[in-house]
């Protein structure tokens, strides 16, 4: 490899650097989820489900490199679940069926993001965020209806799981969980796309600012 090639490689924009703003946003969302999870257990029910889980899976799969597309959202979710579960060990275990279904649904939402990776933009991801939120809400609540003996196993019970839920678990009705989730997913998707565009534009600016270096051997 010539000196010029080595220098060119060293001056190539680091792909990871362009993702730093978006990764910081993911980290902030996870910290926010842990914080609100602890506050909700303390009685701040108005924060219920104002966490962009589906959007993290969607945007990570659409923008991040292949090996991070599903690992970043699932690992960050697991870490936040572990922290909340450690603080309140009497809650749902990490290997509970409801938790595993949640991870499976987020992986499914991530697949939607992978399908959009070559045309990821606000125009495609904002509608996809609504779809992801709806999928997450419908599947997880339908599973609760099937698995929880508190629901009658008929259409009325399914409607209850999708609208009101069971009052003994939360004073917040299910439809409010969906509303909060939808708003947070849309907001996160907007910020994630802006952060990725910002990181990429800064990377391109840095590339243009690098002077063209010549091979010393050629000069000699």
The predicted-structure confidence for 64-114, as pLDDT tens digits, reads as follows: 888 889 988 888 888 888 887 776 555 556 778 888 999 999 999 999 999
Q: What angle separates helix 122-147 from helix 53-63, to the nearest 10 degrees?
A: 130
In this predicted structure, the answer to whether residue 12 has a pLDDT above a threshold of 50 is no
Tokens of 105: 């649904």
The pair of structure tokens assigned to 101 is: 């279904």
Supply the pTM of this predicted model: 0.78
More confident residue, 215 or 32: 32
Which residues lie closer than 8 Å to 197 by C-beta, 6 or more apart? none
52, two tokens: 């962009």
| pLDDT higher than threshold 50 for residue 213 | no
User: Is the model more confident about 86 or about 31?
Assistant: 31
Q: Tens digits of per-residue pLDDT, 150-200? A: 999 999 999 999 998 887 776 678 888 899 899 999 999 999 999 888 877
Q: CA-to-CA distance for 3 and 150, rounded, in angstroms?
A: 71
Inter-residue contact 57 to 106 (CB < 8 Å): yes
Q: What is the mean pLDDT of residues 44-64?
A: 81
Determine the Cα–Cα distance for residues 13 and 209; give it in Å rounded to an integer.
11
111 closest CA partner among 92, 126, 131: 131
Q: What phi and psi, each to the nearest 5 degrees, are found at residue 129?
A: -65, -40
Question: What is the tens place of the pLDDT at every residue in 122-144?
Answer: 999 999 999 999 999 999 999 99
- Average of per-residue pLDDT across 22-38: 79
pLDDT value of residue 11: 40
DSSP for residue 211: P
């Amino acid at each position: 490899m010539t000196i010029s090639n080595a220098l060119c490689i060293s001056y190539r924009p680091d792909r990871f650097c362009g993702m730093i703003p978006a990764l910081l946003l993911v980290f902030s969302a996870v910290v926010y989820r842990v914080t609100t999870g602890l506050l909700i257990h303390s009685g701040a029910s108005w924060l219920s489900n104002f966490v962009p889980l589906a959007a993290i899976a969607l945007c990570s799969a659409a923008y991040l490199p292949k090996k991070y597309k599903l690992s970043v959202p699932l690992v960050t979710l697991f870490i936040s679940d572990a922290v909340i579960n450690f603080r309140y060990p009497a809650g749902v275990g990490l290997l509970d069926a409801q938790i595993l279904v949640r991870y499976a649904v987020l992986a499914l939402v991530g697949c939607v993001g992978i399908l959009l990776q070559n045309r990821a933009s606000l125009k495609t991801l904002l509608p996809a965020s609504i779809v992801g939120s709806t999928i997450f809400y419908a599947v997880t609540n339908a599973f609760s209806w099937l698995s929880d003996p508190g629901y009658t196993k008929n259409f009325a019970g399914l409607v209850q799981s999708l609208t009101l839920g069971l009052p003994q678990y939360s004073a917040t009705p299910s439809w409010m969980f969906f509303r909060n989730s939808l708003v947070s997913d849309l907001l996160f998707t907007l910020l994630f796309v802006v952060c990725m565009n910002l990181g990429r534009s800064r990377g391109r600016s840095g590339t243009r600012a690098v002077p063209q270096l010549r091979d010393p051997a050629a000069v000699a």
